[in-house]
């Protein structure tokens, strides 16, 4: 297989190899899939090798493609180390950084934290991807991710950010129109709001398991949708304490009987440990999240 020294070609190749489709890679790169397909074909012609087996199921690497991926990832690591050395020369962060996060954190915490980081670093572009699932950093879906549990597989570096707390809550309107809730047993006569059971992507999010509820009449895979269901009088659900200042019409109930403690973790790819720019951003992000969780939980009337 002939060699290539065009990093842009390797970057596009890596995206297709990781996404296993032109459409997925095109979306990640903001590039038209047809254009990306032509670039891949041009690379294969230049290398005189077939890199992918194309099928309706997607793009699978051939043996030659697997070899090129190993070399391309080595080149990618070298590029990251090289740019890390340049980044530390500036007092301010620049370029683009993408964070993956569960939508509770993405909606109630990251906007204000990232707004402040952006204010301090005008040349920095921050992208927040709020998805109710685990991010794949090996496929470079994001530069770093926030999770509610510490992953144990993969070449990842995990650091605990902070603890946070959750309580049962309902809107004042709902509570005034329905039977009083004085004990956990009283919940059986009330509508529950929570996650869609088969879409809970992390066991730490199975908040209602301890309540023994076998039915969730109002459910969503999004924390923000759940909070709005509760605000609209849909029923009783579990809410983050840090979301309460933004929802004054929602009140916590059974605070002595039910309280959950969870934690946020910062998850990064092991290859990025020496990237000064990402290290500085991670430090600012971690500090900002700790401060904001403490501030909002202090404001919450629990």
Cα distances (angstroms) measured from residue 39 to each of 147, 191, 219: 35, 54, 44
Torsion, Cα 211 135 36 69, to 10 degrees, reads -140
pLDDT value of residue 265: 95
Tokens, residue 91 = 């007092």
pTM to 2 decimals?
A: 0.69
How far apart are the C-alpha atoms of 253 and 258, rounded to whole Å? 8
How far apart are the C-alpha atoms of 270 and 153, rounded to whole Å? 12
Cα distances (angstroms) measured from residue 129 to each of 3, 135, 141: 36, 10, 9
| Domain ranges for the chain | 7-87, 95-162+263-299, 165-260
How far apart are the C-alpha atoms of 237 and 217, rounded to whole Å? 11
Token pair 């603890």 is found at 163
Quote the DSSP letter at residue 162. Answer: E
Interacting residues of 239 by C-beta distance below 8 A, sequence separation 6+? 166, 167, 168, 169, 226, 227, 230, 247, 250, 252
* Consecutive H or E run containing 169: strand 156-171
**What are the tens digits of pLDDT across the range 155-171?**
788 999 999 999 999 99
CATH architecture of 165-260: 3-Layer(aba) Sandwich (3.40)
Enumerate residue ranges in the chain where pLDDT < 70: 1-5, 81-91, 132-140, 201, 210, 212-214
The helix/strand count (H/E) of the chain reads as: 9, 11
pLDDT value of residue 197: 81
In 10 A of CB 177, how many CB atoms?
A: 9
- Fold match, 95-162+263-299 / 165-260: yes
CATH architecture of 95-162+263-299: 3-Layer(aba) Sandwich (3.40)
pLDDT value of residue 238: 93
How far apart are the C-alpha atoms of 101 and 296, rounded to whole Å? 18
CATH architecture of 7-87: Orthogonal Bundle (1.10)
């Amino acid at each position: 297989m002939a060699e290539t020294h065009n990093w842009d070609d390797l970057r596009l190749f890596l995206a297709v190899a990781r996404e296993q489709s032109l459409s997925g890679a095109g979306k990640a790169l903001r590039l038209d899939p047809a254009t990306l397909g032509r670039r891949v074909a041009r690379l294969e012609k230049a290398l005189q090798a077939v890199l992918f087996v194309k099928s309706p199921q997607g793009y699978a690497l051939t043996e030659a493609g697997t070899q090129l991926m190993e070399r391309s990832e080595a080149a990618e690591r070298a590029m990251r180390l090289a740019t890390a050395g340049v980044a530390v020369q500036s007092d301010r962060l620049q370029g683009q950084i993408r964070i993956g996060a569960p939508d509770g954190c993405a909606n109630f915490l990251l906007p204000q934290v990232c707004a402040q980081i952006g204010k301090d670093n005008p040349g920095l572009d921050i992208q927040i991807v709020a998805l109710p699932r685990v991010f794949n950093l090996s496929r470079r879906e994001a530069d770093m991710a926030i999770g509610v549990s510490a992953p144990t597989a993969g070449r990842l570096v995990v650091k605990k950010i902070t603890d946070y707390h959750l309580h049962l809550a309902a809107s004042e309107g709902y509570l005034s129109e329905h039977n009083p809730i004085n004990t956990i047993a009283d919940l059986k006569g009330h509508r529950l709001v929570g996650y869609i059971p088969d879409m809970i992507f992390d066991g730490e999010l199975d908040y209602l398991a301890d309540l023994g509820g076998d039915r969730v009449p109002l459910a969503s895979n999004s924390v923000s949708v759940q909070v709005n269901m509760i605000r609209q009088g849909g029923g009783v659900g579990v809410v983050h304490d840090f979301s309460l200042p933004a929802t004054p019409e929602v009140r916590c109930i059974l605070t002595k009987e039910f309280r959950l403690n969870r934690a946020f973790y910062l998850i990064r790819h092991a290859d990025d440990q020496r990237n000064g720019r990402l290290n500085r951003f991670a430090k600012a992000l971690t500090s900002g999240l700790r401060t904001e969780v403490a501030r909002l939980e202090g404001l919450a009337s629990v």
